[in-house]
Structure 1
Amino acid sequence: TRTVPTPPATAPTDRLPAGSDADPWVVLDREVDARTASPAQRDASRTQGRLLVRVARRVWPSPVLDELARAVPHPHHPVALGVAAHAAGTTPQDAALAAAYHAVSGPATAAVRLLGLDPVAVHGLLANLTPELSAVSAAACPPGTSERPGSAGAHWAALPAYSSPGLDLLAERHARAGIRLFVS
């Protein structure tokens, strides 16, 4: 089998020349690229994003989903999630809440499968996180963040860029492992 070499984590993430008048979806996707240091995590995000757009286009047909699919055929998962939430008629805070829940439920489900934990107990713990997840989603959507997805009026460069080098290193090790348990 032929493998495509993965660029090092220090490789530039830009796909367009600086200062270009790129499609807003491409610009937003580049902002996510710049905030995702690990090539393995970028690949996983794009796989999940592509699959989410594919499903969302069937469930909630929308010109916004079509625009994203044309501009960025393999969008990052956070971009796809925001657009899918918009197509479903939810608010930005609903989309942020879905993202926050996804961030904790995925690892919790993996822990149940890998460690044989009691699923009811684990999901009870997740339910107890409701106040924290609500607070995180509210903080992610301060007043005035109701811009249409992909609009030029949004200030994408102001998006947070939190880092977790330990998780980046684990993702890279997992990508090179002989046995891979999960994509993300």
Structure 2
Amino acid sequence: MARAAGLDARDAACCAAYESVSGAASATVRLLSLDPFDATGVLARLAPDLDDVADRAVRAARTAAEEGVDVLPACSAPLLEIGAELHAGRPVRLFAS
């Protein structure tokens, strides 16, 4: 999808890193009634760490392209998917979106 949008590997990695934390920040606003500006401030302060994660992901992907996927720390992010499945299967919703 990133390639179709004209993004490079680092752009795609930045999107993935941000997505992995922005959902939780959004949930804190809805579930705990935290100030949205405070939640956004936390995301802003995480920017250097997210940049580092994106850079490391690009390096790992390039290494994997040369040496195979076994050199990657993980082939996916299963806990994010498992959490979504568990939430979808719960009889009571914490919030509706």
> Offset of 1:95 from its aligned partner?
0.4
1: CA distance, partners of 2:8 / 2:40: 25
Q: Who is 1:180 aligned against? A: 93
Flag as ranges the 4+ runs of structure 1 deviating above 6 A. 162-169
TM-score (norm 1): 0.41
1: CA distance, partners of 2:18 / 2:83: 22
1: CA distance, partners of 2:60 / 2:89: 43
Residue type of the alignment partner of 2:35: D
Larger radius of gyration: 1
Q: Who is 2:23 aligned against? A: 106
CA spacing shift, 1:168–1:135, aligned 2, 3 Å: same
TM-score (norm 2): 0.73
Instruction: Select which of 118, 124, 127 maps to 2:44.
Output: 127
Structure 2 portions without partners, runs of 5+? none
Of Structure 1 and Structure 2, which has the larger fraction of its residues in helix?
2
Residue type of the alignment partner of 2:68: H
Aligned ranges for residues 1-184 of structure 1 at < 5 Å? 84-142=1-59, 145=62, 155-161=68-74, 173-181=86-94
Structure 1 portions without partners, runs of 5+? 1-83, 146-151
Report the identity percentage: 47
**How many pairs align?**
93
Residue type of the alignment partner of 1:130: A
Over residues 144-177 of structure 1, what are the superposed CA-to-partner deviations in whole Å (9 max), with x where a residue is unaligned?
82xxxxxx97834443328999878866653442
